A and B are shown apart, each in its own frame.
Chain A
Amino acid sequence: MREGRNWGGSALVLPALVLVAAFLLAPLALILRYSFDKYDPVKLMLGVFSPGNYMLAVADPFYQNVLSTTAYIATLSTVIVMLLAFPVAYYISRVESQRLRGWLIILTMLPLLLGNAVRSAAWMIVMGTKGVANSVMLGVGLIEEPIKILYTPTAVVIALVSVLLPFAIITLQSVMDSIPTSLEEAGQSLGHSPLRTVFGVVLPLAMPGVVAAAAISFALAMNAYATPVLIGGPTIKMMGPAVYDQIAKANNWPFGSTLACILMLATLLLTVLSTRFLSRKYF
């Protein structure tokens, strides 16, 4: 398999490449162009080229609020996710039984693969005024009357954390797998407590994974659609639903494209950041 052959073989990527180019890259290029256009109620688009939409997105109080709500919820969710994902990923990567490890991975992946519609439905049932959480808290006398959980920022954060956890766990765990256990044993044999070993040995070595997992979590939280719509309700406005509203409901393609491009740019930056830290495989 030398030179000439390689080119013949490489032609096998063409169909996939054409599909991605024609139905992902070209559409993205199109909305990038439209993001600089101007909306007109009659003609829909004027065919001009101006940064006006971007100015509006950062200057208009409504969209400032959308941006800050999105940033706030995404940051809070990411911090909580990292705190929860670390112990779980550590446990999975250090568990001795391969069977148990397999089941834990399946258990981690299942919610991820169910999709946002089913997951949101489940959280709505748990967090509703007459939901399980309220019934349980009333039952044990923790609260006097039902509290409002659903349709609050807290509810969105709780639901988002459960959405992001699988991604963070899988990313962290794949990095921790590559840290030899002998290093921890060395730490312990020097008389360090397990906790100190984790913070002194595992955490510094897993740092690339921590950065990557946090970047992925933040990007996913920022782009969330179903969770803010169903769990947050109409009063909590985030970027994902705003893109949908502008393009599908208001027919304002230029401004919708601008919001989409802002999300795309932020995600791209985070992805580059995370891949710089993480050279390894899956997420």
Chain B
Amino acid sequence: MGGLSLGRLAFLALVVAIFAFVIAPLLTIVWVSFFSEKILAFPPTGYTISWYARASEIADFANGFLMSVKVGLCATVASLAIGVPAALAIERFPFPGRETIRQVLLSPMYVPAIVAGAAVYIYFIELEILTTFQLAATFSGLVIAHTLVALPWTLRLVCASLVSANTVSEEAARSLGANALQTFLYVTLPIIRPGMIAAAMFSFIASFSDLEKSLFLVGPGKTTLPIAILNYLEWSLDPTIAAVATVQILIIGTALIVSDRFVKLGKVF
């Protein structure tokens, strides 16, 4: 692309500025979490790490965090358990209508979260009236909704690794007499393992950060971290909430960098 002309410098500056626009607010919130004064003022009078301790003492945040981790883990396991077989069927058994099926399974990503959340909430209530089985404002209800949040990520990443892995070694295993299950366990699974790890990471992240689908489904004592943050923000904005946000940024940032070790995100996207 040649040397550094003036035009090229301007272009680079523009790109940097746009990244800064997206990233700067996040750096600001990390910075604010260390401010010593409760009332926000810039620049701060001093720094402290005590807000992190404060945040962990607030029951909504501590319980919300635990709830989000538990729901995230269950949703991740569930979405892998149903998503990996589905990906395998779509990529390895070319049955008629599989493109339609793929779109249906990816649809949770396209249906607006607020619409899906509202619909699932009404559906849960009606189901409860019919069967007396409660799902709204329960742990199981949240896990079901979050499994749907996670499923498209699992499907996409596992499908991507199935597509990029060639089928030669699978065919070789089959022709040497391995049955379908053996072929999957000893040949396919090791090949797609990095994709599965990335799928697990993204599924967890998608569940952990979800706000809109959980909005209708949380209940007293059954609140996820993003909802706890939302509720707190409606009343106050202080370093405590910045500390909570920073913890979430750290967790998700780490998960993203770990996934990149297994599946080069630069190649997937």
B120 touching A24 by the CB < 8 A rule? Answer: yes
Our pick among A10, A21, A105, A106 for the contact of B95 (Cβ within 8 Å) is A10
Given contacts A16-B86, A24-B116, A195-B7, contact A113 B252 (CB under 8 A): yes
8 Å CB interface, B66-122 against A: 81-83, 85-86, 88-90, 92-95, 98, 101, 104-105, 107-108, 110-116, 118-122
B18: CB under 8 A from chain A?
A: yes
Does A19 contact B210, Cβ atoms closer than 8 Å? Answer: no
**Most chain B CB neighbours (cut-off 10 Å) among A108, A118, A263:** A118
User: Across the interface, which residues of B come within 8 angstroms of A30, CB to CB?
Assistant: 119, 122-123, 126
Interface locus among A61-69, A130-138, A202-210 = A130-138
> Please, which residues of chain A bring their CB within 8 A of the CB of B8?
194
Given A125-B28, A230-B234, A257-B122, the answer on whether A105 and B269 have CB atoms closer than 8 Å is: yes
Residues 15-53 of chain B, each 1 if its beta carbon lies under 8 Å from chain A, else 0: 100110111111011001000000111110000000000
Q: Is B55 located at the chain interface by the 8 A CB criterion?
A: no
Interface centre among B22, B39, B88 (most CB of A within 10 A): B22
Please state if A13 and B90 are interface contacts (CB–CB under 8 Å): yes
* Contact yes or no, A128 B40, CB < 8 A: yes
Interface status of B58 (Cβ within 8 A of chain A): no
Q: Are B25 and A125 in contact (CB under 8 A)?
A: yes
Q: CB of B189 within 8 A of chain A? A: no
For B209, what are the chain A residues with a Cβ–Cβ distance below 8 Å? Answer: 113-118
Residues of A within 8 A of B248 (CB): 114-115, 118
Q: Does B221 contact A (CB under 8 A)?
A: no
Establish whether residues B256 and A109, one from each chain, have CB atoms under 8 Å apart when the complex forms: yes
Residues of A within 8 A of B29 (CB): 118, 121-122, 125
Contact of B118 among A102, A117, A219, A257 (CB under 8 A): A257
Q: Assuming A13-B101, A122-B245, is B206 touching A117 (CB within 8 A)? A: no
- Inter-chain CA distance A271–B106, complex, in Å, is 12
Partner of A132 from the list B42, B98, B101 (CB cut-off 8 Å) is B42
CA distance in complex: A109, B202 (Å)? 11
Residues of chain A lying within 8 A (CB to CB) of residue B230: 117, 120, 226, 229-230
- Contact partner, B94, options A6, A128, A253, A264, Cβ 8 Å: A6
Alpha-carbon separation in the docked complex, A271 to B43 (Å)? 45
B22 touches A165 (CB 8 A): yes
The answer on a CB contact under 8 Å between A9 and B122 is no
Complex Cα distance, B21 from A282, in Å, reads 24
Is B176 among interface residues, defined by CB-CB distance under 8 A? no
A156 at the interface (CB under 8 A from B): no
Say yes or no for A260: interface residue by CB 8 A criterion.
Answer: yes
Name B265's closest neighbour in chain A (CB-CB).
Answer: A105
- Please tell me if the beta carbons of A24 and B237 are within 8 angstroms of each other in the complex: no
Within 8 A of A (CB), among B224-269: 225-227, 229-230, 233-234, 237, 241-242, 245, 248-249, 252-253, 256-257, 260, 264-266, 268-269
Distance from B111 Cβ to chain A, minimum over Cβ atoms (Å): 7
Contact of A109 among B26, B85, B105, B265 (CB under 8 A): B265
List the B residue with the shortest CB-CB distance to A28: B119
Q: Does A94 contact B (CB under 8 A)?
A: yes
B256 touches A122 (CB 8 A): no
Interface residue? B216 (CB, 8 A): yes
Is B151 in contact with chain A by the CB < 8 A criterion? Answer: yes
Q: How far is the CB of A167 from chain B (nearest CB, A)?
A: 11
Question: Which residues of the other chain, A, contact B110 by a CB distance below 8 angstroms?
Answer: 267, 271
Complex: A84 Cα to B28 Cα, angstroms: 22
Query: Is the pair A119, B82 in contact by a Cβ cutoff of 8 Å?
Result: no
User: Known interface pairs A9-B89, A128-B40. Does A111 touch B23 (Cβ–Cβ under 8 Å)?
Assistant: yes
Within 8 A of B (CB), among A2-33: 5-13, 15-17, 19-21, 23-28, 30-31
Besides A116-B211, A118-B26, A263-B114, 15 more A-B contacts (Cβ < 8 Å) are: A9-B180, A12-B85, A19-B144, A20-B108, A23-B144, A23-B145, A24-B116, A24-B119, A30-B126, A117-B226, A124-B237, A125-B237, A130-B40, A170-B269, A240-B112
Q: What would 16 A/B residue contacts be, using CB atoms closer than 8 Å? A: A10-B98, A12-B89, A16-B155, A27-B119, A28-B119, A31-B115, A110-B23, A110-B26, A111-B23, A114-B209, A115-B252, A118-B249, A130-B40, A225-B114, A229-B234, A264-B112
Interface pairs A-B: 3 shortest CB-CB: A115-B209, A9-B93, A27-B123
